[in-house]
Amino acid sequence: VPNYLNVVPSVLEAHDMIEMDEIERDLGF
């Protein structure tokens, strides 16, 4: 299995975490 297939999910996960942080900041959590 090429390495980039392992990298993509973790990059998407990190992006989701960042988006959640921004949403929580917007909501004032």
Chain segment 1-29, per-residue pLDDT in tens: 677 677 787 888 988 999 999 999 999 87
Q: Residue 1's pLDDT is what?
A: 66
Which pair of tokens denotes residue 17? 């975490």
Task: Tell the residue number behind the tokens 């973790």, with chain if given.
Answer: 10
CA dihedral 2→8→11→13, nearest 10 degrees, is -120
The overall pTM is greater than 0.95: no
Q: What total of structural domains would you count in the chain?
A: 1
Q: Which domain holds residue 14?
A: 1-29
Which pair of tokens denotes residue 1? 């299995």
Q: Residue 26's pLDDT is what?
A: 93
In 10 A of CB 3, how many CB atoms?
7
